[in-house]
């Protein structure tokens, strides 16, 4: 026991040291003018370098591959240009591929997608296996080595860069998912997979015929190497307790999904801590997200696994504000609020008008004296209840709900990540924070009037 405790302590010390080292690297590189190496401003530099690399490779391999490239192009073969994170992060593996394939179907474009996957470790093998029904996935190192020079020829390459892996611009994923609307998903579970998953649900003591909700709250253990940059997206699972109680009270079960490094859940009736159970597997992750009634999560990409199977999501703590909406039209979400250095919550028009709505690295918020305000337990519970009411057909909007939705949506500009969104913001959240939809001047006047009234 003491040996295990010692290992855990060593792991924590190592993690803290790594975090401090990365923060030191960030500070030094920013101070000497090399911040573009790791923040959004380096994206253009990276594009130029990649373009130069492609040009050099094209010149080198042109004599050998020009004819095969032209033949493959006419045959409709397209090699998928996927950055490493698209393969190795489950949100990208779900959303980028789903959006790309739907994009081809919507545009009636007939292509033969090919993914060179040798040397890469997919975030979820079960999901990649499903994509293999639509994409030719090549795992052989030798075949990938022979085919990789063809990626230097633009006519045989389809890049996934514009779907989810974009910085400070509108994501193509929102446009595609909005156009796809309520069409059927392009992948589904087989009868054998459903039977296998149902058997595992009995192991998790979820009774036959019971409906369940996947619950996910992002923590730093899934991707510790970039925690220094993404920690602002984390949330506390205890803030979801009230929502889980509301789901159980309505007759449902809650299945906490995620990774085994997550903080243990306190025992609760009707709640299963699957993420830390022996049933945890990539395949079961897929099954649970594909079969849940809805997904209760946050800005972590795991909700995309539910969305590509046509399951709606209720997403709390969405951040940054430029990503406040979910890309799936049937989803509802609520964003984290922003607080300035004086401890005042920024009105939405102010937050959206400046760069704060597009910051994507934790140190960028700290440099500007900004901090994230997590959604409260009550706000998350109201979001879950709204989703259940919508699914049950019990929801009745009040007269000003449409106006609040429109006012918030009007804040999204063409350069924001979720510009093409057609989803909704939680109505209780907008009612509660309607004052934040005012301009800075209106908000300050109201605050002064309230302050004067108290005196």
Quick one: pLDDT at residue 193? 96
Q: Phi and psi for 410 in degrees, rounded to 5?
A: -65, -15
Spatial distance between the Cα atoms of 109 and 185, rounded to a whole number of angstroms: 18
Q: β-strands 112-116, 77-81: how paired?
A: parallel
Which residue intervals of 32-171 are DSSP H helices?
43-75, 84-88, 90-106, 125-131, 141-147
Dihedrals phi, psi of 206, to nearest 5 degrees: -85, 120
pTM higher than the cut 0.75 = yes
**Residue showing tokens 């301009």:** 439
The secondary structure of residue 250, as a DSSP letter, is T
State the CB neighbour count (10 A cutoff) for residue 308.
25
Alpha-helix runs per DSSP H in 181-277: 191-203, 227-230, 241-249
pLDDT in tens, the chain (455 residues): 445 445 444 554 455 455 556 555 556 555 545 554 455 445 455 556 555 555 555 556 667 888 899 999 999 999 998 877 788 899 999 999 999 999 999 999 999 999 999 888 899 999 999 999 999 999 999 999 899 888 888 999 999 988 987 777 899 999 999 999 999 999 999 999 999 999 999 999 999 999 999 999 999 888 788 788 888 899 999 999 999 999 999 999 999 999 999 999 999 999 999 999 999 999 999 999 999 999 999 999 999 999 999 999 999 999 999 999 999 999 999 999 999 999 999 999 999 988 889 988 888 898 899 999 999 999 999 999 999 999 999 988 888 999 999 999 999 999 999 999 999 999 999 999 999 997 556 656 655 654 565 45
Three-class secondary structure of residue 272 per DSSP? strand
* Closest by CA position to 163, among listed 79, 108, 94, 109: 94
Is the domain defined by 209-454 classed in CATH 3.40.50.2300?
yes
State how far the alpha carbon of 350 is from the alpha carbons of 312, 338, 346, 400, in Å. Answer: 30, 10, 6, 22
**pLDDT at residue 32, rounded to an integer:** 47
As a whole number of angstroms, the distance between CA 96 and CA 115 comes to 13
Number of CB atoms found within 10 A of residue 59's CB: 10
Q: What are the residue boundaries of the structural domains of the chain, listed by start? A: 2-36, 41-165, 209-454
Strand order of the β-sheet with 253-256 is 271-272, 253-256, 212-215, 294-297, 313-318, 332-335, 424-425
**Distance (Å, rounded) from C-alpha 357 to C-alpha 347?**
12
pLDDT for the residue numbered 5? 47
- Beta partners for 137? 115
Of 332, 348, 337, nearest to 407 by C-alpha is 348
pLDDT of residue 165: 76
Angle subtended by helix axes 241-249 and 377-392, to nearest 10: 30
What's the length of the chain?
455
Instruction: Give the C-alpha separation, 232 to 409, whole Å.
Output: 23
Neighbour-count burial of 54, counting CB atoms closer than 10 A to its CB (0-12 exposed, 13-18 middle, 19+ buried): middle
């Amino acid at each position: 026991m003491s040996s295990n405790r010692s290992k855990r302590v060593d792991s924590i010390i190592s993690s803290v040291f790594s975090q401090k080292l990365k923060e030191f690297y960030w500070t030094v590189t920013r101070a000497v003018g090399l911040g573009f190496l790791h923040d959004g401003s380096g994206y253009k530099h990276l594009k130029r370098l990649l373009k130069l690399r492609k040009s050099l490779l094209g010149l080198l391999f042109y004599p050998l591959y020009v004819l095969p490239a032209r033949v493959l192009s006419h045959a409709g073969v397209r090699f998928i240009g996927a950055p490493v994170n698209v393969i190795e992060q489950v949100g990208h593996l779900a959303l980028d591929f789903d959006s790309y394939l739907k994009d081809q179907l919507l545009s009636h474009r007939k292509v033969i997608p090919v993914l060179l996957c040798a040397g890469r470790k997919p975030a979820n093998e079960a999901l990649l296996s499903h994509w293999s029904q639509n994409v030719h996935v090549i795992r052989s190192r030798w075949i990938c080595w022979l085919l990789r020079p063809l990626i230097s020829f633009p006519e045989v390459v389809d890049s996934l860069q514009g779907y989810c892996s974009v910085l400070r611009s509108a994501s193509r994923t929102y446009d595609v998912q909005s156009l796809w609307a309520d069409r059927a998903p392009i992948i589904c579970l087989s009868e054998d997979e459903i039977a296998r998953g149902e058997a595992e649900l009995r192991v998790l003591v979820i009774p036959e015929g019971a409906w369940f909700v996947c619950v996910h709250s992002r923590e730093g253990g899934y991707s510790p190497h970039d925690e220094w940059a993404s920690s602002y997206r984390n949330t506390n699972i205890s803030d979801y307790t009230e929502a889980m109680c509301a789901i159980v009270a309505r007759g449902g079960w809650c299945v906490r999904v995620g990774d085994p490094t997550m903080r243990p859940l306190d025992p609760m009736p009707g709640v299963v801590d699957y993420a830390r159970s022996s049933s945890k597997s990539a395949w079961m992750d897929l099954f649970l997200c594909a079969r849940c009634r809805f997904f209760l999560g946050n800005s972590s990409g795991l909700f995309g696994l539910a969305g590509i199977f046509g399951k709606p999501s209720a997403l709390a703590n969405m951040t940054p504000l430029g990503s406040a909406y979910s890309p799936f039209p049937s989803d509802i979400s609520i964003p984290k609020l922003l607080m300035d250095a004086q401890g005042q919550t920024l009105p939405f028009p102010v937050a959206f008008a400046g760069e704060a709505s597009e910051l994507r690295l934790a140190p960028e918020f700290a440099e500007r004296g900004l901090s994230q305000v997590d959604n409260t337990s009550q706000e998350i519970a109201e979001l879950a209840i709204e989703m259940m009411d919508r699914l049950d057909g019990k929801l009745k909007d009040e007269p000003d709900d449409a106006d609040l939705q429109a006012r918030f949506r009007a804040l999204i500009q063409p350069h924001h990540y979720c510009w093409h969104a057609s989803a909704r913001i939680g109505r209780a959240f907008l009612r509660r924070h309607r004052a934040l939809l005012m301009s800075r001047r209106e908000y300050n006047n109201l605050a002064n009037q309230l302050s004067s009234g108290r005196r």
